[in-house]
Structure formats: C-alpha cells, structure tokens
C-alpha cells in the first residue's frame, strides 16, 4: 500500500477527487493520532473547498491520551468537528455515522421539506496511505477482508455502500499524498510505517526513533527493555544497550543493528512501547 507520488500522479488524483466531490455531501478525513500534522495532506482543504468535513483522528488507541486531548482542543472549532476513533471499533463506527447525520442535519431537513422521502447523504473517506481507510470502510459496512484498491484517487465506476442512518459511503477511499518534502514529516511517516521502510534506511530510522523517544520520555525505552538510560547518553549508545539487553548480537559478537532496528520499529508501531504521540501542535 505504498505509492510513489510524482507530479502527474498528484494532478490526476486531484482531478478524480474533484469529480467525486460533486457526488458527496461530506468528506471524512482520516489522520493518524500519533502524527496528526505529518499525516495530513497539505492540499486537501483547498481541494474540498467549502464541503462539510469530519476529521477522524484514527489509531487513537496508539496515541497518548494527553496528546489526543491537546490535539482535539487545537483542531476543533465551529466548522471542524474532531473525533478520536479506532477504525476497528464498531462502537466508534456508530459514533461516526451519528456525527455525520448531525453535521448534515440542516441539509437533511431541507431535503425532507422539499418532500424527498428517505433522504440519504453521501460520504467519502480520504487520507494518506496506511492511515486506516480500508479498515474503516470495512468496519462501517460490516464487510470483512477485502482491502480496497491501492490506486491513488478514486476509481471511476463508483459503488456506494449503504450504512445505517441513511448514509451512503463511496466504497473506494481517496488516497492522498503526504507532505513528504519535509524531513521531520518524512521521519514521522517512517516511524509509523506510513512510508516504505526502503525509502529510509531502517537502521537510521530506528536510531532517529530512539532519539525521539528519549526526548519524549526515556522511561518508555527503559521500562520495555529493562535498561537504564543515563543523562546525555547518545541514541546510538542506547541502541547498543537495547541490542545487548535483547541479545541482538551476531556470532562474531557484533551488534545486529538490522535486528534491533526492526524490533524497535515494530514494537513502536504495534503500540508495545505504549501509547505515544510523536508530535504536538506548534505553539503560536
Ligand atoms: P489504508 O487503507 O488507509 O491504507 O489503511 P488500512 O486500513 O490498510 O490500515 C493500515 C494498518 O493500520 C492495518 O494494519 C490496520 O489494521 C491498522 N489500523 C487501522 N485503524 C487502526 C486503529 O484505529 N488502531 C490500530 N491500532 N490500528 C489500526 P496492518 O498491520 O497493516 O494490517 P492488519 O494487522 O489489520 O492485518
């Protein structure tokens, strides 16, 4: 589910999105709760213009509770409703459909007043790769397995999935590009697995993650690996300590950096290291 974006590709995606927008009443934008800024497509708000939008902070089970609270306060305003969700959760699915109806309440009433029976509203899900779009579509529709296509944008033959509460959902999500020009963003996307490991050298990526985790809260690493991190210890020193604690050592007694790197990244991504929000809103 990783895509190499190039300018022509982005233009095509934009055009397809604009086509789909004509058919829908609301955009459901998925962000990753651990990296709400880095997982946001830079152009989406311009593309959707004035269309109503619901922001879903997905993978909220992996974000830190305090971080989730701070982001909600930062992002929510009169025109933007922000919900923290877990795409796997049916309970959250019910909250989402309710919220969509609530946001579109006036529009629904208007159509009813015009004598339209069984007013349905149409929604589409958008977001960068790996943010949980397919999981959410499957969960909302009660269907299992079938991963939706990984082609960017949306396909032309449109299929609608009927949800509870007279909502129809476009069965193909809008796959958007991330803000990959920014180094910090690229790192965050790498840490969470939103961009391919091969794009970034895995050992460097893990080293940078360790550096970040030390600055957020070194207890995260200390508790998980049963190590002690001394004041001013270098990230590489910490990586070595983790490797030794976990026996990530080759026959010749040298540290197996690939192994320790994969382990730390994998454990972070699965939430084994705890609930960690990697970025907070910038202070104004
Ligand atoms: P995409 O369509 O936007 O590309 O994302 P997709 O639904 O494929 O989800 C990417 C990964 O994120 C999947 O894990 C999925 O299970 C996981 N995921 C989605 N939503 C949530 C959430 O709210 N919380 C958590 N913890 N994980 C979530 P995977 O390992 O690639 O696949 P699998 O384990 O589901 O087989």
Residue 147: pLDDT over 60: no
Do 127 and 36 sit in the same domain of this protein?
Answer: yes
Q: What is the DSSP string of 130-197?
A: TSSHHHHHHHHHT--S-PPP--SB--SS--EEEETTTEEEESS-EE----TTSHHHHHHHHHHTSS-G
Residue 180 confidence (pLDDT):
76
Which residues, other chains included, contact 254 with Cβ-Cβ below 8 Å and sequence gap of 6+? none
Q: Indicate whether residue 62 lines ligand 1 (CB < 6 A).
A: yes
Tell me, in angstroms, the distance from the centre of ligand 1 to residue 135's CA: 6
Same structural domain for residues 21 and 143?
A: yes
Asked if residue 150 has pLDDT above 80, the reply is no
37 CB near ligand 1 (under 6 Å): no
Q: Are both 102 and 205 inside the same structural domain? A: no
Q: How far apart are CA 135 and CA 282, in angstroms?
A: 30
**What is the reported pLDDT for 82?**
95
> What gap in Å lies between CA 94 and CA 86, rounded to an integer?
12
The pLDDT assigned to 181 comes to 78
Same structural domain, 146 and 235? no
Inform me whether the pLDDT recorded for 109 exceeds 90.
yes
Residue 153 confidence (pLDDT) above 70: no
> Is the residue at 284 inside a domain?
no
Q: How many angstroms separate the alpha carbon of residue 88 from the centre of ligand 1? A: 8
The answer to whether the CB of 173 falls within 8 A of the CB of 133 is yes
- Contact, 191 vs 209, CB < 8 A? yes
Q: What is the pLDDT at residue 196?
A: 75
Residues 150 and 263 in one domain: no
Choose the final residue of a domain: 134, 159, 175. Answer: 175
Total count of domains within the chain: 2
Residues 168 and 34 reside in one and the same domain: yes
Identify the pLDDT of residue 182.
85
Residue 250 sits in which domain range? 201-270
pLDDT for the residue 144: 67
Asked if the structure places residue 279 within a domain, the reply is no
Q: 87 in ligand 1 pocket by Cβ < 6 Å? A: yes
In angstroms, the CA 174 to CA 197 distance is 23
Predicted pLDDT of residue 78: 83
pTM of the model: 0.93
What's the pLDDT at 80? 85
* Residue 50: pLDDT band with limits 50, 70, 90: confident
Question: Which token pair is 242?
Answer: 């983790």
Q: Residues within the annotated binding site for GTP?
A: 58-61, 130-135, 174
pLDDT at position 197 is: 67
Task: Indicate if 215 and 166 belong to the same structural domain.
Answer: no
Q: Is 91 contained in some domain? A: yes
Token pair of 266 as six digits: 């994998």
Tell me the ipTM for this assembly. Answer: 0.97
Query: What was the pLDDT predicted at 107?
Result: 94
* Cα–Cα distance measured from residue 168 to residue 107, given in angstroms and rounded to the nearest whole number: 15
């Amino acid at each position: 589910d990783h895509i190499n974006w190039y300018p022509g590709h982005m233009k095509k995606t934009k055009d397809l999105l604009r086509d789909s927008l004509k058919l829908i009443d609301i955009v459901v934008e998925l962000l990753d709760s651990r990296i709400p800024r880095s997982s946001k497509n830079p152009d989406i708000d311009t593309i959707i213009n004035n269309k109503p939008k619901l922001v879903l902070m997905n993978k909220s089970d992996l974000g830190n509770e305090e971080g989730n609270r701070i982001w909600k306060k930062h992002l929510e305003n009169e025109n933007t409703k922000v919900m923290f969700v877990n795409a796997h959760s049916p309970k959250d699915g019910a909250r989402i459909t309710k919220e969509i109806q609530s946001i579109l309440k006036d529009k629904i009433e208007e159509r009813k007043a015009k004598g339209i029976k069984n007013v349905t509203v149409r929604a589409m899900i958008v977001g960068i790769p790996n943010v949980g779009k397919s999981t959410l579509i499957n969960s909302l529709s009660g269907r299992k397995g079938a991963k939706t296509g990984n082609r960017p944008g949306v396909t032309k033959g449109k299929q609608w999935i009927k949800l509870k509460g007279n909502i129809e959902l476009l069965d193909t999500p809008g796959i958007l590009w991330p803000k990959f020009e920014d180094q910090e963003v690229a790192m965050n996307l790498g840490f969470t697995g939103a961009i391919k490991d091969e794009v970034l050298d895995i050992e460097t990526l893990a080293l940078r993650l360790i550096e970040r985790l030390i600055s957020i809260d070194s207890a995260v690493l200390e508790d998980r690996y049963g190590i002690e991190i001394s004041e001013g210890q270098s990230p590489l020193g910490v990586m070595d300590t983790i490797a030794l604690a976990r026996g990530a050592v080759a026959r010749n007694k040298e540290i197996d950096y690939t192994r320790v790197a994969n382990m730390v990244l994998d454990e972070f991504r699965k939430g084994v290291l705890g609930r960690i929000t990697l970025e907070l809103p910038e202070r104004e």
